[in-house]
Structure 1
Amino acid sequence: MEQENQSFVTEFVFIGLSSEPRVQTCLFAVFLVFYLLSVVGNILIIAVIRADPRLHMPMYFFLSHLSFLDICYITTNVPQLLVNLSTKSRTISFRACATQMYFSLACGMNECFLLGVMAYDRYVAICHPLRYTVIMNRKLCTQMVAVCWSCSLLSCLVVSALTLRLPFCGPNTLNHYFCEVPAMLALACADTSLTEKVVFIFSILIVFLPFVLIVLSYGRILSAIVWMKYDSSRAKAFSTCGSHLAVVALFYGTATIMYTRPQVKSSQDRNKIIALFYTIITPMLNPMIYSLRNKDVKGALNIHLVWWTLQGQFFKPFS
């Protein structure tokens, strides 16, 4: 399959986000800042959760995995984008494009699953507080994360295989800033209806099933909050759930638009803007949302930043 595809097209050329040199320079600076903020912010969250015993809870266990996932997600796309913006060469080999498409899609699928698991965790914590530590034990949490990774990697393998089996005989100009399934399908010189149907089915399963779990979980959470006697309990419940809901709305809103609506070749420019949100904006905003809205994370972050700065041991948590 690979030899057949590469006999037609050996590399792709990105159109990117702009062809104006001044705009490219501005975009390079903006996305470099976004990338650094995302990586540094998510690393800080992982480090604080590891360093502070008060955060050794299932909620923060999943949050640390979400932060690690966001680092992987943004790293699969932004470095290539920065190279394209800073150099005249915008080419990528067929194999590199296939690899980028696979891991980018796998990270996106995994984020859907993980957000669903985090919603279930909040449901157990608020609706069954006395049994929370028994139900959400470390073994179950580890198994949930393992299932998320396994399902996303296997599902992505099916979608990627169906996409890469198509012949790419030209043109090789990819109207995107990274290799994504809809943009790749637009270049295939064969009938893509079967692949598009499979992508749609997997989108329903992977995007909407976790979304249904999120809706059901928060429906029960809302019902439980209404019956809470104390305003302080309600405020704490809303605080812990608000951050997760903000991330869900941002990620699911854009991902759903991208993968469940009919793909039209003329809408490729719009697709690039939509993809910016769930591949770059969301991983950058996640640490800010959780650190600013979550008092426990915010307090621990302030304490440990001061401590690491005074002791000169900022990188000790990573050793």
Structure 2
Amino acid sequence: MSKSNPLDGKAVLVTGAGGGIGRAIAIEAAKAGASVLVNDLGATLGGERESSEAAQSAVTEIERAGGRAIANGDDVSDREGAARMIRQATDAFGRLDAVINNAGILRDCFFHKMSYEDFDAVVKVHLYGTFNVSRAAADVFREQKSGAMIHMTSTSGLIGNLAQANYSAAKLGVAALSKSMALDLARWNIRSNCIAPFAWSRMTSSIKVDSLEQELRVEQMKLMVPEKIAPLALWLASDAATHVTGQIFAVRNNEIFLMSQPRPVRSVHRDEGWTIDSVDTHAIPALKANFQPLEVSADVFCWDPV
């Protein structure tokens, strides 16, 4: 692997790459030597189609810099659309080496006010979209006996956030889906990892600011540009990462984190089994010191980005 062109000769598909994190990753992938399929539906933050130019705009920027890219406007939540983008990549580039599942929408709302439609739409793009693109890519990867999948999860799912039940459920589902893919596809040298990105983009620009605390948080987030996510994502797509699979990372400005995954933290046992009363008097008092508080992402990542 060339240090200057670590993705030389590789083909990479980036979904939701018309702007924000996806666009930054696509542009940096091309700089690193990859041929890039830039997918973007050209939708609003809520998922409604708005423009067909988003993907082509990123392609034009890549080509002006001397890179190779093609545009795709399919919808990741549509199974046939996902299959088309995989075929387009292999037809154009002769191969496909990595998929970066970045496409997403937001329809934030407190749970007791959330409609079925808003829950369904967000889950379909994030969770079903990740499945659709990865499932189509898996057939190509299995045939060539190699491939990398990188999925964008979120601390909204891993930790929690207010008014994001749809988004949080989808993003935690992405982490579980990634682990299952890592387990099922390892025999073909296919790896699957997640990144929880912190970056100022169209997605985070929708954060409501109604207090000084939130205003300060938003100002901190604006320091975290999308380009900061690209190095880890593209390293995971490179041959240097062939030994890394089933992991969850986070990137926060100049920091990279390895996130924990659920494991038992404490247990209690009674030879005679449990009753409702002994659960109350024995089990819960013994376990409650290790209960997780009702925290949101900002409570855990509470220091200034460095």
Indicate the TM-score class for this superposition, using the shorter chain for normalisation: under 0.3
TM-score (norm 1): 0.25
Structure number with higher relative contact order (C-alpha < 8 Å, ≥ 6 residues apart): 1
- Normalized per residue, the structure richer in strand is 2
TM-score (norm 2): 0.26
